[in-house]
Structure 1
């Protein structure tokens, strides 16, 4: 039997951060934070899963799925759901004492899912930011670069790379996620690699692209203002502006809500590198700040549907039309109720309802409006 390393590894602490807050016996003010997290985490997860499911359905609807941005946002909704479902599982195991981490293979799977979905979600936001940059700063490349074929290829490559990088929990850890001694240094290296892939590189790219987008937008507005009294009318009426505004809101919201989490994580990573051992928050202020940063990070994965609803009129219209279609179908079914008295199947198939034909009602009662091809 291979020997294991008894000290908590950094990667184990990654999942531990999600769960141990519920099992600690803390004094004030840590106890308040523990209670807040105990109730806030399931609320955020359930709200996020429902909202992301709606978002994925809307963006994959035939009206919107022909746009590359819609594919990225739908994939992000699915990825965020994966992380939130994993987080909800860890929360339930901790609060209700299910001890799911003791199930062979399940603890490794939970660690894998947190790293996998976290990395995929971050890079999908990077893709959205890059596409928004092309639309604003390099509009002559939109037709060549911003299409569904390139989007699908990009996502396939991303999934393949992330799977190849983050499969190590399954073969470097024993039961209850205790790392094998011979792999401990390798796991520490992977923790640093994960920080580079999900923190340093994405943050650098999104900061640069967002700065370029803001600068170009301001310069464009100034040019319009020279030709017209204001630039607000033209930008408000521009479909391209509405698209870019929504994508920019997605990027900025994700960046702002993730910034505290990344700052705390970066600090712990630096301390661990300097002290040559795993470091965890111990002081009351550190625990409080870490807990708040975690909640903000979880919130960034759950409020996407709110951002889409605020900034995308096409998103709101698609949801309303779908709800109206469902309501219309229910009304048609109610008006054409089958009589309650016994009737032979042959008689039923020949039954004529006065003045109505179900097929025609389905087609004519609710004429579908034509949609534009953009996601707004």
Structure 2
């Protein structure tokens, strides 16, 4: 249990259950607050719900965004990749939670290293795919003509693939710095003591690429988008009662309406991710500061509760995207409805699905305008 709480944020995910298991074997001290018991209850009963719902919602989203009318948009390429990493992350996190019900899958060889590795890779990809989404929203909001050139499906696929390869190579060290330790009748998936210094180096690299740079970029992009929306709303409000705004509305028509819905989805994804990640980021920064100062902090029930509660808030970001799609994306709802119709009709009549190609079930209309080709046909 030593170092489980005062270690840097990079190690938090791996040692979380080890701390919980050790603390759970101790009687709660008088210093244990109501917040600890509340967090423990949330961890045992709410976190698996978040994991299962996040897995199912993102799993469905992958199929929806891969459908014919939606896959021809660059932003949907990022949303597909984000959904893939999210449902894999939720699944691996659920396997970690299973230790709560004494199903110790994570503490087995190969599975131990694999889950830690997958968690790190998915965390890296998630934050950078959100950065790509906020960048697309930024470009579309600022200059639509430039977006037609920059935001293409081909470029989006290259970026998604490049990020995936980078993450796969960058975090390979997790495969050889973790092992299954046995002692005192217990088995733990933990970090090899001989690689502590190496891990600290990768910790600072990870902080730069998954915390500092992405959050600065997202804050800038989202800030500009919000300012742009405020300026447009303020500038148009005086002329709502006059005829000066009518020609603009006529020339753009449904194009502005569609763009508004698209920016809402992308804006909600980026904004909620930043807000829900703040508590976890604060804990990481605090852990890094303590590590730099060489200060030790004895693990307690309350310190575990603070770390775990901030993590659960972060996990919530993997579930909310599904609601954003349902609320603001008409095409997402249509494609999702088509999927359920296929399954229902398949149960009613065997072999009926084979008569209709799967890809054609989603054929409603293809993106035809430059605006749609920007990858905003969500």
Do these two structures clear the TM 0.5 threshold for a shared fold by scoring above it?
A: yes
User: What runs of 5+ residues in structure 2 fail to find an aligned partner?
Assistant: 182-188
Matching residue within 308, 328, 332 for 2:325: 308
Quickly say closer, same or farther: Cα 1:372–1:246, change in 2 above 3 A.
farther
- Deviations along 1:101-148, one digit per CA (max 9) or x if unpaired, are 442232222211111101101100000000110000122211111111
Q: 2:202 aligns with which of 190, 196, 218?
A: 190
1:253–1:300 contact (8 Å) kept in structure 2: yes
Higher RCO, Cα 8 Å, sep 6+ = 2
1:141 equivalent in alignment to 2:146: yes
| Structure 1 residues 322-363: Cα deviation after superposition (integer angstroms, max 9, x where no partner) | 3345545655x39x9xxxxxxxxxxxxxxxxxxxxx89x979
The structure-2 alpha-carbon separation of the partners of 1:203 and 1:7, relative to structure 1 and needing over 3 Å to count, comes to closer
Q: How many Å apart are 1:257 and its aligned residue?
A: 1.1
Aligned to 1:86: 92
**Is the 8 Å Cα contact of residues 112 and 179 (structure 2) preserved in structure 1?**
no
TM-score, reference length from structure 2: 0.80
Give the length in aligned residue pairs: 342
Maintained 8 Å contact 1:83/1:117? yes
Report the counterpart of residue 350 of structure 1 in structure 2.
Answer: none
Residue equivalent to 1:289: 306
1:266 is displaced (CA, Å) by: 1.4
User: Residue 231 of structure 2: SS of its match in structure 1?
Assistant: helix
After superposition, the CA RMSD in angstroms is: 3.1
Within the alignment, does 1:209 sit opposite 2:221 as a pair? yes
1:35 deviation in Å? 2.5
The counterpart of 2:264, out of the listed 226, 239, 245, is 245
Partner of 1:14: 13
1:219 Cα deviation from its structure 2 partner: 1.6
Identify the residue that residue 255 of structure 1 maps to in structure 2.
Answer: 274
Larger radius of gyration: 1
Cα distance change, pair 276–197 in 1 and its aligned pair in 2 (3 A): farther
CA 1:218–1:31: 2 relative to 1, 3 Å: closer
Q: CA deviation at 1:199?
A: 1.2
Any unmatched runs of 5+ in structure 1? 1-5, 337-357
TM score, norm. by length of structure 1? 0.81
Q: 1:281 to 1:251 in 2, by over 3 A?
A: farther
What's the offset of the Cα at 1:229? 3.0
1:287 to 1:328, Cα distance in 2 relative to 1, 3 A: closer
Which residue does the alignment assign to 1:43?
49
Is it true that 1:171 corresponds to 2:176 in the alignment? yes
Deviation string, structure 1 residues 236-279 (Cα, Å, up to 9, x no partner):
962111111110011111111111111122112212212266x5
Question: Post-superposition shift, 1:12?
Answer: 4.6
Q: Do the aligned partners of 1:281 and 1:290 also contact (CA within 8 Å) in 2?
A: no
- From the superposition, tell whether residues 125 and 242 of structure 1 become closer, same or farther in structure 2 (CA, over 3 Å): same
Q: Does 1:65 align with 2:95?
A: no
| Contact 1:137-1:213 at 8 Å conserved across structures | yes
Q: Is the 8 A contact 1:129 1:210 kept in 2?
A: yes
3-state DSSP of counterpart to 2:283? helix
Equivalent pair of 1:22/1:38 in contact (CA under 8 Å): no
1:178 positional shift: 4.9
Deviation at 1:367, TM superposition (A): 9.8
TM-aligned CA deviation for residue 33 of structure 1:
1.9
Cα separation, partners in 2 of 1:283 and 1:19, compared to 1, 3 Å: closer
The one of 152, 166, 186 equivalent to 1:161 is 166
How many Å apart are 1:52 and its aligned residue?
0.5
